[in-house]
Amino acid sequence: MRLDKLHPVISGNKWFKLQYYLQQATQYSARKIATFGGAYSNHIVATAFACYLRQIPCAGFIRGEAAQTLSHTLLQAKAYGMELHFVSREAYKNKVAIQESNPDYYWVNEGGYGLPGAQGAATIPDLVPDIENYTHIIAAVGTGTMLAGLCKAAPPHQQIIGISAMKNNTALQQQVQALLDTPDNRFTILHDYHFGGYGKHPATLISYIQQCWQQYQLPLDIVYTGKAFFATEHLIKTHTIPQGSNVLFIHSGGLQGNLSLPAGTLPFS
């Protein structure tokens, strides 16, 4: 499922996760929407553009000190009108304190995590013809928001598999369950396909992403979808997913992480 093709800026699952937050912010007549993210955050630039479309002022609280030259992602967000605030990595860990110091903002959690984000992600399967024919749904996992949405919407017989982009992020299981009305044992989060950790991109991963472009004309990123697609192929080849299964891989969009690579590393922009 090519969610990356839906919009050039609000790429992939971002619009789904943001839609109900934006509705709430409008209903509450919020003075400003604020959120969190890193220098190459897909969520930051998507939020900036969505707020630009809705004519809602917005602010991004960015992990780490401001670099002498801003990333392409942050330059984009700034061009769309987002006010950037740089926060030390230590202070960034205490997001509650940042929120409490700006109580008049309408806050969206990093990655859109929360019930409105999951409810928005639950509308993704509506775009899939004959969704009930699939046995497995696979997607990359960051905060677990989309995975929770898929669990809310998927027919009872389907297995939902999330591929964690982070190393040993075992808290994801609880984060997903916290967004569900009842405990759900249909979803599995795999932690063995991180390629060294969040944002790590060894030569083997770069080579795999290049190969997927040459073979399928499929643009993948080094943070999420490249690792998730590799995992999907591996699960099929090793028969962890049984032969005869009907697998839906959701390309969740967002290629911002690739902008951290030297120019020309990947054959697509």
Q: Which residues are catalytic?
A: 41
Q: What's the CA dihedral at 211, 214, 217, 220 to 10 degrees?
A: 30
Tens digit of each residue's pLDDT (9 = 90 or more) over 97-141? 999 999 999 999 999 999 999 999 999 999 999 999 999 999 999
Per-residue pLDDT of 199-244, as tens digits, reads 999 999 999 999 999 999 999 999 999 999 999 999 999 999 999 9
Nearest to 3 by CA among 153, 125, 109: 125
Domains detected in the chain: 5-112 (3.40.50.1100), 125-260 (3.40.50.1100)
Backbone angles phi, psi at 136, to 5 degrees: -135, 140
Given this model, what pLDDT does residue 11 score?
83
Q: Which amino acid is at 181?
A: D
